[in-house]
A and B are shown apart, each in its own frame.
Chain A
Amino acid sequence: MKISIDRETLLKPLQLVSGVVERRQSIPVLANALLKSDKKSFTLTGTDLEIELQGRIALEKISEAGEITVPARKLIDICKTLPEKAQIDLNFDGQKVIVRSGKSRFSLATLPADEFPKTEEFSATLEFKIPATDLRSVIEKTSFAMAQQDVRYYLNGLLFEVSDNQLVAVATDGHRMGYSSIEAKAPGMAQVIVPRKAVLELSRLLADTAGEVDVLFGSNQLQVKTDHYVFTTKLIEGRFPDYSKVIPTGGDKVLIVDRDILKQALNRVAVLANEKHRGVLFELQAGTLRITANNTEQEEAEEELNVNYHGGEMNISFNVTYLFDVINALNAGNMQFTFTNSDSSIRVEQEKSAENNNADVYVIMPMQL
C-alpha cells in the first residue's frame, strides 16, 4: 500500500474514526485503524466491536492498493502536529508503515488487516434520507434522558421509530422521558434501540455533517451513511417501554412560564437543594409559583415567580436536575407544564402558538412529598 495525500484530507476522517477507537481496548488490534486503498478510494476504519466508523477519501492517484492496520492515536497525533497543508506519504513496507512529510519520517508498528474485526454483512430492512440537522435535532432533544448502566439494558439507549413519515426519538431512564419527532420521508414502520455510546458518537458526527444522510435500519444494526463516512452500530435487543402510555394526556392544571426566567430562578434555588436527591418544591397558586429548596444543613432557598397559572393550589416536588435537562432542551420563550396531581407524572413542552407547533414532549415523574 502506498498513497500520497494532503494533511487536511487525511486528518478529517482520521479524527472521526478516533472517537470510536477504544482507549483501553481489550484486544490490541482495536487500538488500530484499518487503512485500505483500492483503485478509486482510500478508507480508514475504527471499531470497538459495537460501533464501527469508516471514513472515506476519494483519491486521484493511488500508486499501490493494499490494506494494513496502524495505531490510530499515534497516526492522528502525527498528522495533527505536522504543519498545515503538509503533503503526507504513507507507505507499507511489509513490516512498518512509514509516514513521510517534508523532512519528517515516522515508522509505525502494524498488525495485519485480517486481524481486524470483520464487519457483519449489513442488510437493510428500511432505508430513508434525512437532513443531518434533523437527525441530530431529535437526538439532541432526547438523548439526555437515556439511562446509564441500568439493569433494564433496553433503557441504556435511544429509541428510533419510523412511522407515518415521521422519525421519532425517545429516551427514558424510568424517572423522566424525552420525546421528539420530525418529518421524514420514510416508508414503513420500524423501531430500533441504539446504544448510548453510539448515540453520543453519532450526534458528534452529525454536528459536522452538511446535507442529507442515509439512514438504514437492519435487523440488528443501524447504519448512517454519507459520501464521507459510514457509521454502523449494533442495536440493543429488547422491548422499549410503550412511550405513548407514559405521556400523560389527562392533566388539567396548566402552568405557563418563561423558560429563561424559570431557569434563572431554579439556578439560584438549586444552590441550596439537597446534594443527594436535588429536590425542589413547587408551590402553585393562582398567578404565582413559589420554588423552595433546603439541604441537610437546614439552609433554605425561596423564589417567587409571577406566572400564568389558574389550576388551583398544588404542591409538587422535582429533582431539579431533571428540570434543567428539559429547560436546556427547549427553545427560548414560554414553556408549558401540565399537572394532574402531586403524585402523577407531568408533561412539559414548548407553549403552543401559531409560530410553534413543535411536537416535542417531556415527561417528568415528581418526587414523593
Chain B
Amino acid sequence: MHQPTLTRENSRKIIHVDMDCFYAAIEIRDNPALTGKPVAVGGSPDKRGVICTCNYAARKFGVHSAMATATAFRHCKDLILLPVDMPKYKQVAKQIHAIFREYTDLVEPLALDEAYLDVTDSNHHAGSATLIAKAIRQQILQEEKLTASAGVAPNKFLAKIASGWKKPNGLFVIKPNEIDNFIKTLPVDNLYGVGKVTAQKLHKMNLKTCADLQKFSLLELTQQFGKLGQNLYEQCRGMDHRNVEPNRVRKSLSVERTFAQDIRNLDDCLNIINELCERLIKRVQESAPNLAIKNQYIKIKFNDFKQTSAEIISQEINLDRYLTLFRDAYLREVKPIRLLGLGVHFQDKKPLKSFLQQSLF
C-alpha cells in the first residue's frame, strides 16, 4: 500500500527524553547503600498507598508503578519503600529542564520525568538530533548522576516509542526511511489513545500490529472508532502531526482521595465530595485560573477495584452537579467505595480571555 508521507512532516527532528525510574533513581543516588536492592517510592500499604516508581531490581519481582503498595510487598517482601519527596524531585526536574533548554526552546514537559524536544532548527552538533540526544544524556549523567533514555524520530509518537525501546539508559533512533519497516511490527497496544478497552476491541478484531491496522481505510476506522479512528489511521502509518508545544495547555485538573477504609455510608460520601469540591476549587484557582472549564467529572473506585466515571458539560465547578454525577455513577455498582475523585476538563483550545462580568456593588 502506498504510504502518504509529507516531506515537511518527516523532516522534523523530535527527541523524547524519559528519565529512568526517576523518583527511585534520585533516592538511590542520594543513598548509595540502596544500590542493587529493590527500591520503590510510594504511599504506605496501611494507608492504601500505591507505588509511584520503582527501580529495575524491584521490577524483576513484578512490582510496577500504580500498583497498590500492599500488593507490591506481596510480590517482593524485601522491597525498600521510601516516602514521596516531591519538592526534591521537582528541584531535580528543574535542573534537567535547564539542560534541555541549552539545546532548544521548544521543550514540552509531559511530567517531571519526561519531555519532548523539537530540535529541527537547532544548530548544536551540526543539527544532528542523534548527537544532541547523546549529548543531553551525557550531560544529565554528569551533572545529576542520573540516567535517561532517549528516542529520536520525526514526530512525537515515534520518539516516545523509541525512548522506550532501549530502556533503561538507552538511545534509539528512528530515521524517516526506517519508519515503514519499524511501524509494521509495532503492536497496536503501543499507540496513544489505545487503552485497555480499545486494545481489547482491536484484539477481538484480530488486529495485533500496525501492519494489520494499515489494511483498513480511514472511513472504516472512523466508523469503528469515531474520532480515534483518524488517529489510528495516521499512527499505524507512523504519522503524527502534533507539534511540540512549550506552553502546553492543561487539559484537566482533578483531586482525589483513597480511603483508609472503604466508605459504605452515602452521607459520608456526600461530605467527602463537598470537601473534595472545595479542594478542587482551590487547586483551579491556584493552577489554572484563566482556563475555561468544559466539563465536570467524577471518578469512583469500588472496593473490588472496579472503576467508573461520569461527566457533565459545565462551565463552572458546581457542587450540586458533582452530587448528581455521584448518584448516577454510584448506582451503577452500589458497592463500598475505595476512592473518590472530582475533576474538571478544560476547553482544549487556547484559553479564552476569561470574560467574567463584575458587579457594581
Measured between beta carbons, the chain A residues less than 8 angstroms from B315 are 276
Report B83-142 residues with CB < 8 Å from chain A CB. Answer: none
Given A276-B315, A296-B347, A175 and B353 touching (CB < 8 A)? no
Q: Which residues of B contact A276 (CB under 8 A)?
A: 315
CA A175 – CA B361 in complex, angstroms? 8
Q: Which residues of B contact A (CB under 8 A)?
A: 315, 347, 349-350, 352-361
Contact partners of A174 in chain B: CB under 8 A: 359-361
User: Once the chains are docked, how many angstroms separate the CA of A366 from the CA of B355?
Assistant: 9
**Complex contact A274–B360 (CB within 8 A):** no
Residues of B within 8 A of A369 (CB): 353-354
Q: How far is the CA of A368 from the CA of B356 in the complex (A)?
A: 5
User: Of all chain B residues, which has the CB nearest A345?
Assistant: B360
- Could you say which of B315, B355, B359 has the most chain A C-beta atoms within 10 Å of its C-beta? B355
Asked if A365 is an interface residue, CB under 8 A from chain B, the answer is yes
The answer to whether residues A241 and B361 also contact, given A276-B315, A296-B347 and a CB cut-off of 8 A, is yes
Interface residue A13 (Cβ < 8 Å from any Cβ of B) = no
Instruction: Among B349, B350, B360, point to the contact of A246 (Cβ < 8 A).
Output: B360
Residue of A at shortest CB range from B292? A296
The 3 closest A-B pairs by CB, nearest first: A279-B355, A368-B356, A367-B355
A366 contact set on B, CB distance < 8 A: 358
Is A343 engaged at the interface, CB distance under 8 Å to the other chain? Answer: yes
Indicate if the CB atoms of B356 and A172 lie closer than 8 Å.
no
Given A296-B352, A367-B355, 12 more A-B residue pairs with CB atoms under 8 Å apart are A241-B361, A276-B315, A277-B355, A281-B353, A296-B349, A317-B353, A319-B355, A343-B358, A363-B360, A365-B357, A368-B355, A368-B356
When distances are taken between beta carbons in the complex, the residues of chain B under 8 Å from A298 are 349-350
Inter-chain contacts of B359 with A (CB < 8 A): 174-175, 365
Closest to A367 in B: B355
Question: A177: CB under 8 A from chain B?
Answer: yes
A282–B352 alpha-carbon span in the complex (Å): 16
Min CB gap B159→A, angstroms: 28
Contact status of A365 and B355, CB under 8 A, knowing A276-B315, A298-B349: no
Q: List 7 A-B contacts (CB under 8 A).
A: A276-B315, A277-B357, A296-B349, A343-B358, A367-B358, A368-B356, A369-B354
Would you give the shortest CB distance from B308 to chain A, in whole angstroms?
29
Q: Which residues of chain A have a CB within 8 Å of any CB of chain B? A: 172, 174-177, 241, 245-246, 274, 276-277, 279, 281, 294, 296, 298, 317, 319, 343, 345, 363, 365-369
A246 touching B358 in the complex, CB below 8 Å, given contacts A279-B353, A294-B352, A298-B349? no
The residue that B355 contacts in the complex, of A172, A177, A246, A274, with Cβ under 8 A, is A274
Q: Which listed residue, A177, A281, A296, A317, touches B360 by the CB 8 Å rule?
A: A177
With A and B bound together, what is the CA distance between A298 and B351 in angstroms? Answer: 10
Residue of A nearest to B356 (CB): A368
Contacts of A281 in B (CB 8 A): 353
B334, chain A: closest CB distance, angstroms: 37
Residues in chain A near residue B349, CB distance under 8 A: 296, 298
> B351 to chain A: closest CB distance in Å?
11
Smallest CB separation, A232 vs chain B (Å): 31
Contacts of A294 in B (CB 8 A): 352
* Chain A residues, Cβ within 8 Å of B347: 296
CB distance from A323 to the nearest CB of B (A): 13
Q: With A and B bound together, what is the CA distance between A78 and B11 in angstroms?
A: 83
Closest to A364 in B: B360
Which residues on A sit within 8 Å (CB–CB) of B360? 172, 174-177, 241, 246, 345, 363, 365
Taking a contact as CB atoms under 8 Å apart, the answer to whether A246 and B356 are in contact is no
Q: How far is the CA of A345 from the CA of B359 in the complex (A)?
A: 9
Bound together, the chains give a CA A241 to CA B359 distance in angstroms of 13
Question: Does B361 lie within 8 Å of A319, measured CB to CB?
Answer: no
Whole-angstrom distance between the alpha carbons of A319 and B357 in the complex? 7
Residues of the B chain whose Cβ atoms lie less than 8 Å from the Cβ of A319: 355, 357
B352: A residues at CB distance < 8 A:
274, 294, 296
A368 touching B354 in the complex, CB below 8 Å, given contacts A296-B347, A298-B349: yes
Which chain A residues lie closer than 8 Å to B355 at the CB level?
A: 274, 277, 279, 317, 319, 367-368
Q: In the complex, which residues of chain B have a beta carbon less than 8 angstroms from the beta carbon of A343?
A: 358
User: How far apart are B130's CB and chain A's nearest CB, in angstroms?
Assistant: 38
